[in-house]
Chains A and B, each alone.
Chain A
Amino acid sequence: MHFSKVYAQLLQDLPPELAENSFQYRELKKLINQIATELLALGLEPTVLHNLLQSEGKGKGKEKETAPTVFYELDTTSGKIEPRLRLWVEPPTSRVEEVGEFEIEGSSSLSSQVSLSSALQRHPEFLSGLRIGSQVEVVIPLTSDSAFFQLLATSLQTLQAHLVTINAQFVRTLVELTKTVSDSARPASSTSSGFRVLSGLKSDAGGVRVGASSAKSDLNAWREIFALYVETEIFESIHERDRGERSVEEAQNRLRKFADRMTARGLKDGHLMKLKQSQDALDCFLQLNVFILNVKKFELANAEATRKILKKRMKRTALPTTDSNNLNSLSLIPVIDGSLPRILVQELGTTLLPIIPSLEDYQCFICMSLAFKPIRLACGHLFCVRCLVKMQKRGNGDCPMCRSPCVLVANRSNVDWAMLNFMRDWFPEEATVKLKQNEREAAQEQLEELGLPEERCIMM
């Protein structure tokens, strides 16, 4: 199948606002045909031109005197790309009106020599009048090629501008979504009347109790969604094996898997989502991800189209895409580097995801669960009280993270009250569970230390 068809097919599957701003592949292809015709009129068939441009490098020696040299130049002085061919040829030995022929050595086709020379006769204005030795300089502007670059450049410029708009729109929706989510995933302090964030007046960490919130908040559902989302690593892998951006197919599969897992967990229906706005926000969240996937497809298709069209031009006309003396001329054509999906993923990761504190950021590095009740060691590292008590009992005095000897000196004054309140506020359920677990473990340890038999019931 022709790429133009593949490309059209691909665009059809994308939302119209993306497809409308696509690359004009067909128009560019037509222009390539025009360039080919134009060159043919000059007698420069692809093979001939190819040979001529090839000999340019080699012809520096003695041959230079006899073989014509052709340079392909991209004039950018006017701010536009204006390609032209600069030829150094032997002038006709007799007058131009007579059947003068340029000696083009190395060119295989006699007819091309004839047509090139006759073309030059018809366009004497190409002769720049410059002369070096016996050779005259001929400059042929390539109008269709100029049009090709013009269209390519404007095409890519519009595309780039459109991508900027897309980015801005995405950010706007994202900010809106972030507001909705933070409204529906409120911490305990905003939903339960009995809780005050500033309850640091208590000096006894043992007296801390966590009250489960009763008012409506989808904090836990959202935390689970985001944890699942991060875990699925839809667009980028953070694994040691395959770190980096994923392919479109892989991202698509993973996005589907993410949606399936949420359905399986009951997060998509009203089961775990208490608030209507949460469900709407979740839809929006999924749509944003589908959108990123589409942008990814779109950018990939355009990069492929650019590559293909330049390759086609090269094949049909033998004109190089680079200037013979200045490689940077194509800098006027913007490059679509395919980085927008990555930027969008990053925006999502920095704007939306952090509004709900994730358990990972508040876990004890020893037991890997919520570091509740949190103890801040003198070195600044934070652990849960239970793990530090265990360390103290074993006589391990070095901080597990930095080995500074501050575990044994830690006491009640090391309770991080601000953190404790924060955790009660944002992790009410996890904190309750952890507190119960701690108490149970401590009771068990006490029993063991008393040497009481563990397997039997004890009558007190």
Chain B
Amino acid sequence: MSLPKASPPHLRRAFVAVHRLTIVISETERLVADPVPGITAAPHDDNLRYFDVTIQGPDGSPFQQGVFKLELFLPEEYPMAPPKVRFLTKIYHPNIDKLGRICLDILKDKWSPALQIRTVLLSIQALLSAPNPDDPLAPDVAKHYKENEADAHRVSREWTQLYASK
């Protein structure tokens, strides 16, 4: 890729934008070539920064056998800024609220530009295995999880069957 030196600024800007997009594309290619077991991520045809994601509920968790849909968006500043991720499937989990927003430190203040889509999705999959009711986003669910974990698991399982079955 090269551009004549005396190119107008809007072309230069386009070039920079394309260059930024190549990071996204090469990462997508790697993701497709070596998928993580239990996770799929496919970019939209019309917007390569927007991904349809599915995560399988980890075995041994109340979300087992569920397939959860998520959306992932890479902002212009990515990888300097974290991707925006949201659950589209309803889920009964103390760190995921009604709107599907996820409370995960690496998606916020603990983001590192060396992290990738793959690592982010793996962390979310791990969050399903290890809910953290001490740092809740859905206070009622967290309370339920803390006071009667067995019953909370039952509800999580029910929701998984109701909303996340294949």
Total residues of chain A contacting the partner, CB 8 A: 29
Whether A456 pairs with B9 at a CB distance below 8 angstroms is yes
Q: Which residues of A contact B33 (CB under 8 A)?
A: 239
CA distance A400 to B27 in the complex (A): 17
Assuming A433-B1, A440-B3, is B9 touching A458 (CB within 8 A)?
yes
B98 interfacial contact with A, CB 8 Å = no
Is B60 part of the binding interface, using a Cβ–Cβ cutoff of 8 Å? no
Say whether, besides A240-B36, A401-B114, A368 and B23 are in contact (CB < 8 Å).
yes
List A contacts of B115 (CB < 8 A).
Answer: 400
> Which of A367, A441, A455 is B10 in contact with, Cβ under 8 Å?
A455
**Contact present for A400 and B19 (CB under 8 Å):** no
Q: Are A366 and B114 in contact (CB under 8 A)?
A: yes
Q: Please state if A440 and B10 are interface contacts (CB–CB under 8 Å).
A: no
**Binary interface encoding of chain B residues 114-157 relative to chain A, with 1 for a CB under 8 A from any of its CBs, else 0:** 11000000000000000000000000000000000000000000
Q: Which of B12, B35, B37, B110 contacts A440 (CB 8 A)?
A: B12
Within 8 A of B (CB), among A446-460: 447, 454-458
Q: How far is the CA of A131 from the CA of B113 in the complex (A)?
A: 84
Task: Identify the stretch in A51-59, A97-105, A195-203, A388-396 within 8 Å (CB) of chain B at 4 or more residues.
Answer: A388-396
Question: Is A437 on the interface with B (CB-CB < 8 A)?
Answer: yes
The yes or no answer to B79 lying at the interface (CB within 8 A) is yes
Contact call B9/A447, Cβ cutoff below 8 A: yes
Q: Is B15 an interface residue (CB 8 A)?
A: yes
The CA of A403 and the CA of B105, in the complex, are separated in Å by: 13
Specify which chain B residues have a CB less than 8 angstroms from the CB of A444 in the assembled complex: 9, 12-13, 16
- In Å, the complex CA distance between A458 and B1 comes to 24
A387 at the interface (CB under 8 A from B): yes
- Name A241's closest neighbour in chain B (CB-CB): B37
- A398 on interface, CB distance cutoff 8 Å: yes
B80 within 8 A of A: yes
A241 touches B114 (CB 8 A): no
Residues of B within 8 A of A433 (CB): 1-2
Cβ 8 A contact of A387, one of B8, B9, B113: B113
Cβ contact within 8 Å between B37 and A401: no
Chain A contact residues, CB within 8 Å of chain B: 239-241, 365-368, 387, 390-391, 394, 396, 398, 400-401, 403, 433, 436-437, 440-441, 443-444, 447, 454-458
- 4 A-B pairs with the lowest CB-CB distances in the bound complex, closest first: A400-B114, A400-B112, A365-B114, A366-B113
15 more A-B residue pairs beyond the given contacts A440-B12, A454-B9, with a C-beta to C-beta distance below 8 A: A240-B37, A241-B35, A366-B113, A367-B23, A391-B80, A396-B113, A403-B112, A440-B3, A440-B16, A443-B12, A444-B12, A454-B13, A455-B13, A457-B9, A458-B9
Residues of B within 8 A of A (CB): 1-3, 8-10, 12-13, 15-16, 19, 23, 26-27, 33-37, 79-80, 110, 112-115
